Chains A and B, each alone.
Chain A
Amino acid sequence: MRWVFVGSAILVAAVIFSIILFVGFQGTQTFKDLSFAEFFLSTDWSPSSEQPRFGAFPFLYSTLLMTLLAVVLSVPLALSGAVFMAKIAPKWMREILRPAADLFVGIPSVVYGLIGLTVIVPFLGKTFGGGLGYGILPASIILAVMILPTIMSISEDALRSLPGRLEEASLALGATRWQTIWRVLLPAARPGILTGVILGMGRAIGETMAVFMVIGNSPKIPGSLLDSTTVLTTAIVKDMPNTFYGTTWNNALYLMALVLLVISLGLILLIRIIAKRSELK
């Protein structure tokens, strides 16, 4: 029995590292054909023309902008929900709300995408005029809903696991309930909340299908939040099926995957650092 566990551990480690190594190797092959600066700083992406050019800066820019906006939209809602569930809602209500929020995670992203395509995109197009409503804004709205349960659950756990003496002391000093939550509990739970936000960000960066349907997919820097653009994940999914293994184009897609991987690793490291720092207190 013991060897089964050891074997599984070795297998998992092997799978993870071989994926990282493979993507890394394929991705760095790109630099045989083009310079580092061209890929990361040029904005001209025309891989299928006579003189192929691979400038991936627009994808990087849009990815970061979209993720940031999704987090900005999602965090206030998620925090209010977490505070409500942890400190205000009666027990029976919490018993219903918590599983209901967790169910959101199980909705396939295609469904989110279709709702975005049929409801959010036309609405934005009509409201703000002049465009179709595709772009970073609808993508961020969908992602905000998708990462809401992640941030909410983890923040709620962080709030509930605080020692009771904090709240008691604050109330004993004459603080109102609102002051206690805002000035005492939320700052104390900050590491847990940040972990939730970072996990949500990781999910938002990696989401492909739902974003593909509403982002518009033209390979350029968007002129506004409602202008068709492409992010790293959709650039990969759009061209992966029709490029041949080993071509510059295909390698450039692997390089984008590597960039995503590095961003994810960075986020995980950030979680670790936050967790470490909060232990010292």
Chain B
Amino acid sequence: MSKKWFGLAASVVLAAGVLSACGNKDENAGAGSSPSTAPTAAASNQPSQGPEVTGTVTASGSTALQPLVQLAAQDFMAKNKGANIQVTGGGSGTGVKNVADGVSNIGNSDVEAAAEYKDKLVDHIVCIAPFALIVNNDVTIDSVTKQQAADIFSGKITNWKEVGGKDAKINLVHRPDSSGSRKLVQKIILDGKDFSKEGVTQDSSKTVAEAVTQGAGSIGYVDVPYITDKVKALKIDGVAYSKDTIKDGKYPLYGVEHMYTKGEATGATKAFLDFIMSKEFFEKPEVQKMGFLPADLVKK
């Protein structure tokens, strides 16, 4: 008897799920094309003073920028009950492709969009994200030169003793080709040369940090919100990342974070972008704690 009830319950849940999913779709379709209210006070950097924003905004792409966008989405939805912001990862390449194809309203990227997309998209520079080379806690060295880092990631150096550490194999942790973090490290550390084929590839910044935490002798690259006390961030040429070292140009490894929209942003999308770029949001203690830096720090 109970099995029958179990089945019945399961089918009710299923049906509810299907129905609500359909409901969502309609909502999206409605909101994506015609957001009901356009904010007026957004330009003054204080979107919270304006009327309530309603509508759905989808953002996808960089997993490095994801924590910031997610936090902004939570705050924005708390302020505007009628707004629905959905944030997903997938990597910078995916984000740019999604926004160009109209799959999502906003595409997050750690690197500039490829040339073939440039003329379609409008760029919003949100902030500077410092990146770091992280190693497992069993690695004894604290600093590498840029050349050593390049040799490690291109597979020339395969043992920690070659860079002054103990005799242990270096285990590389990569990101896939669609990742902005990977492109950034390739550009800045490897000067555009190829990564080694050896090692492990992980799908997001979070799983890279996880893999480096667990794997003896591992080295990977993530941006600073993902650095925990379970891994060690290496200094590059003796310089650790900080607001000042990036400003002076001593620390080379940082990305300029872009949020792309297809054409000019309108409605809820515009309100959300204004919110995430507002001083009010950026100076919150929990945002400061993440380690993102204001976009005007480095003059491009």
Q: What CA separation (Å) do A134 and B202 show in the bound complex?
A: 11
Q: Is the CB of B198 within 8 A of A218?
A: yes
Q: What CA separation (Å) do A219 and B174 show in the bound complex?
A: 13
Most A CB atoms within 10 A — which of B171, B176, B178?
B176
Q: Is A67 an interface residue (CB 8 A)?
A: no
Q: Which residues of A contact B144 (CB under 8 A)?
A: none
Q: Is the CB of A118 within 8 A of B210?
A: yes
* Number of chain B interface residues as a range: 20 to 34
Q: What CA separation (Å) do A33 and B2 show in the bound complex?
A: 58
Q: Is B225 an interface residue (CB 8 A)?
A: no
Q: What CA separation (Å) do A220 and B94 show in the bound complex?
A: 25
Q: Is the CB of B215 within 8 A of A132?
A: yes
Q: Is A95 an interface residue (CB 8 A)?
A: yes
User: Which residue from chain A places its CB closest to the CB of B211 in the assembled complex?
Assistant: A117
Q: Is the CB of B200 within 8 A of A98?
A: no
Q: Which residues of A contact B176 (CB under 8 A)?
A: 217, 238-239, 242
- Chain B 192-218 interface residues, beta-carbon cutoff 8 Å to A: 194, 197-203, 207, 210-211, 214-216, 218
Q: Is the CB of B216 within 8 A of A132?
A: yes
User: Which residue from chain B places its CB closest to the CB of A130 in the assembled complex?
Assistant: B169
Q: Is the CB of A238 within 8 A of B197?
A: no
Assuming the contacts A132-B215, A239-B176, asked whether A228 and B90 have C-beta atoms less than 8 A apart, the reply is no
Q: Is the CB of A241 within 8 A of B201?
A: no
Assuming the contacts A95-B2, A132-B171, A132-B215, asked whether A238 and B201 have C-beta atoms less than 8 A apart, the reply is yes
Q: Is A23 an interface residue (CB 8 A)?
A: no
Q: What CA separation (Å) do A219 and B76 show in the bound complex?
A: 42
Q: Which residues of A contact B200 (CB under 8 A)?
A: 132, 134, 216-218, 228
What mask results when residues 89 to 131 of chain A are scored 1 for a CB within 8 Å of chain B, else 0? 0000001001100000000000000100110011001000000
Q: Which residues of B contact A216 (CB under 8 A)?
A: 199-201
What mask results when residues 200 to 243 of chain A are scored 1 for a CB within 8 Å of chain B, else 0? 00000000000011001111100000001000000000110110
Give the contacting residue for A132; candidates B6, B178, B218; CB below 8 A.
B218
Cβ of B197 to closest chain A Cβ, rounded Å: 6
Cβ of A66 to closest chain B Cβ, rounded Å: 16
What mask results when residues 158 to 202 of chain B are scored 1 for a CB within 8 Å of chain A, else 0? 000000000000010000111000000000000000100111111
What mask results when residues 91 to 110 of chain B are scored 1 for a CB within 8 Å of chain A, else 0? 10110010000000000000
Q: Which residues of A contact B215 (CB under 8 A)?
A: 121-122, 125, 132-133
Q: What CA separation (Å) do A212 and B3 show in the bound complex?
A: 35
Q: Which residues of B contact A133 (CB under 8 A)?
A: 215
Cβ of A229 to closest chain B Cβ, rounded Å: 10
* Number of chain A interface residues as a range: 20 to 34
User: Which residue from chain B places its CB closest to the CB of A113 in the assembled complex?
Assistant: B207
Q: Is A35 an interface residue (CB 8 A)?
A: no
Q: Is the CB of B214 within 8 A of A241?
A: no
- Chain B 59-101 interface residues, beta-carbon cutoff 8 Å to A: 90-91, 93-94, 97
Q: Is A8 an interface residue (CB 8 A)?
A: no
Cβ of B238 to closest chain A Cβ, rounded Å: 29
Q: Is A51 an interface residue (CB 8 A)?
A: no
Q: Is the CB of B199 within 8 A of A213?
A: no
User: Which residue from chain A places its CB closest to the CB of B97 in the assembled complex?
Assistant: A241
Cβ of B215 to closest chain A Cβ, rounded Å: 4
Q: Is the CB of A118 within 8 A of B97?
A: no
Q: Which residues of B contact A118 (CB under 8 A)?
A: 210, 214
Q: What CA separation (Å) do A49 and B90 show in the bound complex?
A: 23
Q: Is the CB of A242 within 8 A of B214?
A: no
Q: Is the CB of B197 within 8 A of A220?
A: yes
Q: What CA separation (Å) do A114 and B213 show in the bound complex?
A: 13
Assuming the contacts A48-B177, A241-B90, A241-B91, asked whether A117 and B214 have C-beta atoms less than 8 A apart, the reply is yes
User: Which residue from chain B places its CB closest to the CB of A99 in the assembled complex?
Assistant: B6
Q: Which residues of B contact A212 (CB under 8 A)?
A: 203
Cβ of A53 to closest chain B Cβ, rounded Å: 12
Q: Which residues of A contact B177 (CB under 8 A)?
A: 48, 238-239, 242
Q: What CA separation (Å) do A32 and B186 show in the bound complex?
A: 32
Give the contacting residue for B178; candidates A122, A217, A241; CB below 8 A.
A241
Q: Which residues of B contact A125 (CB under 8 A)?
A: 214-216
Q: Which residues of A contact B201 (CB under 8 A)?
A: 216-218, 238
Q: Is the CB of B199 within 8 A of A228?
A: yes
Q: Which residues of A contact B97 (CB under 8 A)?
A: 241-242
Q: What CA separation (Å) do A22 and B171 show in the bound complex?
A: 40
Q: What CA separation (Å) do A228 and B218 show in the bound complex?
A: 14
User: Which residue from chain B places its CB closest to the CB of A234 in the assembled complex?
Assistant: B201
Cβ of B186 to closest chain A Cβ, rounded Å: 11
5 extra A-B contacts, CB within 8 A, seeds A118-B210, A216-B201: A99-B6, A114-B210, A117-B207, A238-B177, A238-B201
Show 20 A/B contacts (Cβ-Cβ < 8 Å), sorted by A: A48-B177, A49-B194, A121-B211, A121-B214, A121-B215, A122-B215, A125-B214, A132-B216, A133-B215, A213-B207, A216-B199, A217-B200, A218-B199, A228-B199, A239-B176, A241-B90, A241-B93, A241-B97, A242-B97, A242-B178
Interface residues of B (CB under 8 A from A): 2-3, 6, 90-91, 93-94, 97, 171, 176-178, 194, 197-203, 207, 210-211, 214-216, 218
